[in-house]
Chain A
Amino acid sequence: MIYMISLQSPQVVELNIGDTLRLAITFGYRGPAQQLTLYAAIGNLGFFGFDEIIAVQKPVDLPESPDSFTTCEQSIDIAITDAISSGTGYDLMSKIKEFQSQTEVRVSDVVNIIGAPSMWSSITSVMLVSMMMAMMGQVMPTEQG
């Protein structure tokens, strides 16, 4: 058996309040056609399990595949609300709710929440540009007629 070890760090995504995080979920499925519940959450993986902070779910229709595994791809969106604090190293979790033990997966330290872009940071940016333009005006005075 060959084991593959990835030396690449998992991709970290930085989000603000109001952003949406889209997860792509892939799996093989064997069984009857049925509608199940895809569930995903952002939170913290700890000693007592996964502490969910923002969780979402949606129904997914799985195809009839009685004999062989069919590859399924689903996506689910998590809206970033102020329920989550600014911080780094948040974890992701996803599962099929009705088959938790077979499906629950987690990815650690892949979400940083920067927080909402504040009004002050916008004002500061405008002020900085204005000050630079004023300084350039003094260094390079316009030609007088």
Chain B
Amino acid sequence: MKIQALQVLPAQYPGYALFYTLGSVIEVKNGDTVRITVGYSYRGPAKTLTLYGAIGVQAVWFDEKMVGSKQISLPASTSWLTRSDYVDIAIDTTKISAGTGYDMYAKMKDGSTDLVISPVVYDGITVLADAAEFQNFQISSWAKA
């Protein structure tokens, strides 16, 4: 399984999608949706699996900040079927802080078991802060605590 394509569905322009090539950095704001499209091959009985995507920070383990998932119905096939499917992750800045260098990955799950996991796409997402204005920002006092 491999992440094939990335899109952003901007909250500001419903019905539109911005397409990004892999390797570029996606900038998203609160309310936007990141659509992760994965490519994979399947052979086996008809089955319903869960396509799961996550945005977060890869450290020793992947610290998931935002996730999305959807059910995928796969047909019975004795030969390899090449497929692509997508999963949407809605950006909520109360759960993910504005910042750069967020990573992402996707996986296919059967119940709670991970069947196949994509390679991590590093530093692919920047979460922009919501518009904000500051006035008279100052260090008003400093003292030994």
Contacts and interface: CB of A to CB of B under 8 A. Distances in A.
Interface of A: 11, 13, 15, 19-37, 40, 59, 62, 69, 73, 77, 92, 94-96, 98-99, 102-105, 107, 110-111
Is chain A's interface secondary structure helix, strand, loop, or mixed overall?
A: strand
Interface residues on B, range: 20 to 34
Interface in B114-145: 129-145
A24 B141 CA distance: 5
A39 to B, nearest CB: 12
Contacts, number: 107
Interface stretch (B14-22, B54-62, B93-101): B93-101
B134 A92 contact: no
Given A31-B130, A34-B94, A98-B129, A23 B142 contact: yes
B145 A110 contact: no
Contacts of B130: 31-32, 34
A110 B135 contact: no
B99 to A, nearest CB: 7
Contact of B136 (A11, A26, A40): A26
Contact of B139 (A62, A99, A107): A107
B133 A69 contact: yes
Contact of B132 (A15, A30, A37, A77): A30
Given A27-B138, A37-B97, A98-B98, A19 B132 contact: no
